[in-house]
Structure 1
C-alpha cells in the first residue's frame, strides 16, 4: 500500500499544543493497527536542538539512535509505540547545510542554487525518506502560518501533495478560536484570516481543528464551513482538558479517525482505546498525593524538564497518587544555605543539565536527602553531584569536584569523556578495546546504550533484569581512578556500561531509596507503561509520606 501523508499546520498563535494534538491523533490511528510515524519540521536555522538553550527551546529530547531533537518528539513517543529516530526531526539549518554541502561538492553541476527547487526538493526528500515502511505519516510543521521562516516547508508540502497525489495526502490545520469572557462569545475571525493565509500559498485545509476554552457551538461551525470551504464533519472542536491523555478519546468521539480512513480509503479495524480509558480511570481514582522537589536551575521554565515531569506523573499513575512537583531553584539554596524548603518534601529529584550555576546548591540538597533518608533520584548531572557529595562528606575527599566546574580541584572525581579515553583502567578486561570505544564516542556519549545491573542491588530488583537499554546525553563521567576509595567508604556501584568501563548507577546501601543514574530514564517513560525507576521512586515517596511526621520530627 502506498504511504499516506497528513500535514499538520498551525495558525493564529504559537503554543496551541500542535505537538500534543499530532501525537494524540497518531495514538488513535495507531489503535486501529495502522503502522504510523510522525515527522517534525522545525523552522529555526540551528542544525539541531543540541546547542539551543533550554530557556528558549525547552528540553532536548534524545532518540535511541542519538539524535538531539525537539521536545515534541518526546510527546510522540509517549503517545505511540513507534520509536523516533534522526529521520523524524529536521530543521531549516540542517536542510540548508546539506544543500550547501552538495553545492560545494559539485552535485548541482553548476546550477544556480535556489530555495525552489533545491531547498524544497531536499525537504521533500527527507519527508519521503522518513515515511519509508509506514502506512501513514503525520508531518508537523513547526511555527505558525504567516511566519517567514516556515515558508519553504509550506511550499515543500504543497509540492509534495501534487507529487504524491491529493488522494494520498491531507492538510490538517490547527487554529485558535478565542472565547471572550467579557461578552461570552466565541470569535472565528482569527481562524478565517489563518485559513486565508494558507490559501494564499496554495494550501486548502481538509480538516480544521479548533482550539478553544469551550466546545465550539454548531452555529460557529457552520460559519467556518461556509467561509473556509471545509465540510462540517471535518471541523473538530478541541477544548481545554484536565489531562492531555484525554485528547485521543476526544478526537475519536468526534470520529476524526473515521474521517481520515474514509478519505484515504483505508480499511482498518475500529479504534481500540481501552488502554487510554484505563489510564484515565486510574488517574481519576488516585488516592492522596506526594510532593516531589525537583531541584534545578530552570525552575521557571518547566518545558526544560518536560520528559522528567511527565515521567513523574506516570509514576503517580502506577501508584494511584497525584504527584505534586515543586520546582526549587538550586541557586537559591546555594546562596542562602537555607534547607527549610526541603523539609516538606516526600522525595527529591535532581535532573540532568550542563554548567556550574547552582551546583553547590544541588550538592547541599543531595547531602540533605542522604542524611535525612529522603528518597532521592539523581539523573545524569544528578548522579554526578551525588558522587561528588559522597566523595566530599563520606569518603572525606575534601575539595572533590567535577572537571566541568573546577579544572584544578584536588580530587577530580568526575572527568570529561575525552580525558577518560586515555585513562580507562578499572572495570575493563580489554583496555585497548575500551580506549577504542571512547575514541568513537569523541566528546559526548549519546543515544541508547546497554547497561549491566549488579544482582542483589536495589536497581536490579526494580528493573527485574540484568541488562537494560537506556539513553544517554553527557560529556562527563565518573573518574575510575578514585572509584575504589569511594566504594570502600560505602557507596555501591550497582550499574556499569556494557564494556564495564563506565559507572552507570550508584546507590547508598544505608538509605531506604537513594539511586542515581548516568542515563536518562525519563526518555523511555510513557503513560500506559510508566517506567520502573520512576514507579519505584514514587512508591518510595509514598512510604516516606506515611510516617512523615515521625521522620521529619528527627530532621533538624
Structure 2
C-alpha cells in the first residue's frame, strides 16, 4: 500500500491547501520520490466541466481528457507527473459509481449506506489513484465542519485506523490571524479547528499555520500544547510574494523530514532544490519587463485563467523577464474601444464559450494584426482571429462561428457536422465524434508545417497538446483563407482538423486550437509562451533584440 499524506483545511477556505500540498510534493520529489497527487472535492457535480468559471475558476484538463479542479494544475506545475481522471474525485463521482453498482446488483440486495458503501468507494478510488507511486498526497476540499466533507473525512479516518501511522498521516492547514487592533496573532481559531477535527476521530500529525508573519516560538509552543501536535510539526505557513518560494520555505522548516520520519520513508537524505532556487532567482532578478494584455470573458475572477497567468510568467522566466498582466474584459473592448490596448507589448486572447464578448475578441485580433502587435490566440482566441481574417482580409462579409450565429453566410468556425462532406473519411469521423455533441478533450497529436514559426518554436514536426472545445475551423474555407495569406501551420495527424494558424508577414501572430497553458511549468516553460514573450520583448525594444540575435 502506498504511504499517504492527507491534507485538510480549517477555519476558512482559500488558505492554499493545493499550493501547500504541491509544494510538499515538490520537496519529496526533490528527494527522489515519485509522487501522486489527488483532490477529493465535496460538491455533487460529477466534475467541474459544467460549472461557471465565476464560481469555480478554470477547468483544468488532463492528458486523458478529464475536466478537473484547478488544483490539479498546481500539482502538475510543481511535480513532474501527468495526472489523470483518477486523481480528481468528487462526491458526485463517488455516488454515481455506487448507484451504478447498486443498479447492477453488485451489493447483493444489501441496504446501500454512507458507511460502509460510500466510504469504501472513496478508499477504493484513493488506492487506485496512488497505486504504483512512492507516496500519495490527498487533498480534501472544503473545510473541517462542512457537512458535505464528512464522508471523505470518515474514509481517511478509516484508512489511518486500518493501516496505522506509518502508512497514513494527517496534515492540517489552518489560519492564525493577525489582529491589528490588538497587535497580536490569535491561535484560538486553530485550536478550535483541530478540536473539530479530533471530534470526528482525526488527530493531525502536522499543522501548517497560515499567517501574515512568521509564528514566534512562543505561539508555536502554545499551539502544540493545545492541539497535541509536536512543536517541531507546527509549521509556519507565512504569506509569501511568490508561490514558487513555498517549497524552499517549507524545506527550511524541515517539513519534508518530519514526513519522512513519520512514514519511515527510504529516500535521499537531501533534497535537490536547485531548480526551484533558479526559478525564484529568475523571478526576483529580471533583466527585462513586458506588459501583456489578456482579453478574456472572465478576467474579473482571478482563478478563471489561472493556468494562462502562470504560463505567461513561465515564458518570461526562461528569459529573466517579468511579465506584467493587463486584464481586460472583451466586453470592455466593445464598450470603451481599442485604445485600452495601447502601450502593451503583446496581446493574448484565451478560451471561452458563448457569444458574450466575442466581438470584442475579434476586434482585439484585428487590432493586433493591423498594428503589428504580437498576438497569441488560444482556443476561442484562434477562432476570433480566423473570423477577423475572414471578414477583413478575405472579404467574407458576415463571417462568424456558428456557436454565435447559426445563420452566418460564411461559417468559418463550426461543428464538424456542419461542414462535413458526404461519404468517406469525413463521414466516419463525424460518426465517431458523436455528431459534435461532445467536447474534444485531452492530449492529441498534430503535425507542424515546416518553415513556420510554430515549427521553429517547438523544434520538431509532431507535437501533442491538450484540448477542450467543440467548434473547429471549417475545412470548406481552408483553401480560400490560405489563398488570402493565412498559414495553417499545424493540422491533426489525419489532416482533417486545423490546429494552428499564423500570419507570415506579421512579427508574431500565432493562434492554436489547443490549450498549451496546461503543459507549462515554471522549471521548463512552454515553447509557445516562451516565443510569445520573446516577441513581446522585441516589440518593446523596437526590434533591437531581433537584430542582436542575428548579429
Give the counterpart of 1:490 among 474, 479, 485: 485
Displacement after TM superposition at 1:131 (Å): 1.1
Q: Deviations over 1:450-506 (max 9, x none)?
A: 010000001100100000010000000011011111111110000001111000000
Q: Is the 8 A contact 1:424 1:501 kept in 2?
A: no
SS of 1:344's equivalent? coil
Q: Deviations over 1:505-537 (max 9, x none)?
A: 000111010000000000000000000100110
**Are residues 1:534 and 2:529 paired?**
yes
- The residue aligned with 1:358 is 357
Q: Which moved more, 1:253-262 or 1:430-439?
A: 430-439
Whole-angstrom CA distance in 2 between matches of 1:280 and 1:358 = 36
**Are residues 1:448 and 2:446 paired?**
no
1:41-440 to 2 correspondences below 5 Å: 41-269=40-268, 270-336=270-336, 338-420=337-419, 422-423=420-421, 430-431=425-426, 434-435=429-430, 437-439=432-434
Q: Is the 8 A contact 1:293 1:342 kept in 2?
A: yes
Whole-angstrom CA distance in 2 between matches of 1:141 and 1:440 = 37
Displacement after TM superposition at 1:352 (Å): 0.6
Q: Is the 8 A contact 1:362 1:385 kept in 2?
A: yes
| Structure 2: gaps of 5 or more residues | 545-551
Displacement after TM superposition at 1:154 (Å): 0.3
Displacement after TM superposition at 1:191 (Å): 0.2
Q: Deviations over 1:293-335 (max 9, x none)?
A: 0001112102000000000000111121111101101112113
Whole-angstrom CA distance in 1 between matches of 2:84 and 2:461 = 26
Displacement after TM superposition at 1:442 (Å): 5.3
Whole-angstrom CA distance in 2 between matches of 1:405 and 1:430 = 28
Q: Is the 8 A contact 1:424 1:435 kept in 2?
A: no
Whole-angstrom CA distance in 2 between matches of 1:296 and 1:308 = 11
Displacement after TM superposition at 1:362 (Å): 0.8
Whole-angstrom CA distance in 1 between matches of 2:142 and 2:67 = 19
Displacement after TM superposition at 1:418 (Å): 4.2
SS of 1:500's equivalent? coil
Q: Deviations over 1:71-129 (max 9, x none)?
A: 00000000000111001001001111111111112111211111111111111110011
Compute the RMSD of aligned alpha carbons. Answer: 1.5
Whole-angstrom CA distance in 2 between matches of 1:64 and 1:72 = 15
Give the counterpart of 1:461 among 439, 456, 460: 456
Q: Is the 8 A contact 1:348 1:375 kept in 2?
A: yes
Equivalences, count: 543
Q: Is the 8 A contact 2:39 2:139 kept in 1?
A: yes
SS of 1:501's equivalent? coil
Whole-angstrom CA distance in 1 between matches of 2:201 and 2:439 = 44
- The residue aligned with 1:500 is 495
Whole-angstrom CA distance in 1 between matches of 2:139 and 2:40 = 6
- The residue aligned with 1:554 is none
Give the TM-score taking structure 2 as reference length: 0.96
Whole-angstrom CA distance in 1 between matches of 2:437 and 2:33 = 39
Whole-angstrom CA distance in 2 between matches of 1:234 and 1:418 = 59
Give the TM-score taking structure 1 as reference length: 0.96
Q: Is the 8 A contact 1:87 1:126 kept in 2?
A: yes
Whole-angstrom CA distance in 2 between matches of 1:276 and 1:143 = 29
Displacement after TM superposition at 1:439 (Å): 4.5
Whole-angstrom CA distance in 2 between matches of 1:210 and 1:440 = 51
1:20-31 to 2 correspondences below 5 Å: 20-31=19-30
Whole-angstrom CA distance in 2 between matches of 1:205 and 1:41 = 18
Q: Is the 8 A contact 2:421 2:427 kept in 1?
A: no
Q: Is the 8 A contact 1:445 1:474 kept in 2?
A: yes
Whole-angstrom CA distance in 2 between matches of 1:266 and 1:301 = 41
Cα distance, 1:548–1:333 mapped onto 2, change above 3 Å: farther
SS of 1:166's equivalent? coil
Whole-angstrom CA distance in 1 between matches of 2:58 and 2:92 = 19
Whole-angstrom CA distance in 2 between matches of 1:424 and 1:358 = 35
Whole-angstrom CA distance in 1 between matches of 2:250 and 2:333 = 45
SS of 1:95's equivalent? helix
Displacement after TM superposition at 1:436 (Å): 5.3
Q: Is the 8 A contact 2:177 2:187 kept in 1?
A: yes
Q: Is the 8 A contact 2:436 2:470 kept in 1?
A: no
Whole-angstrom CA distance in 1 between matches of 2:431 and 2:113 = 43
Q: Deviations over 1:344-365 (max 9, x none)?
A: 1110000011111001111111
Q: Is the 8 A contact 1:424 1:434 kept in 2?
A: no
SS of 1:156's equivalent? helix
Whole-angstrom CA distance in 2 between matches of 1:544 and 1:290 = 9
Displacement after TM superposition at 1:443 (Å): 2.3
SS of 2:488's equivalent? strand
- The residue aligned with 2:547 is none
Whole-angstrom CA distance in 2 between matches of 1:164 and 1:418 = 53
Q: Is the 8 A contact 1:145 1:198 kept in 2?
A: yes
Displacement after TM superposition at 1:440 (Å): 9.1
Q: Deviations over 1:177-217 (max 9, x none)?
A: 00112222110000000000000000000000000000000
- The residue aligned with 1:543 is 538
- The residue aligned with 1:15 is 14
Displacement after TM superposition at 1:288 (Å): 3.0
Displacement after TM superposition at 1:368 (Å): 0.4
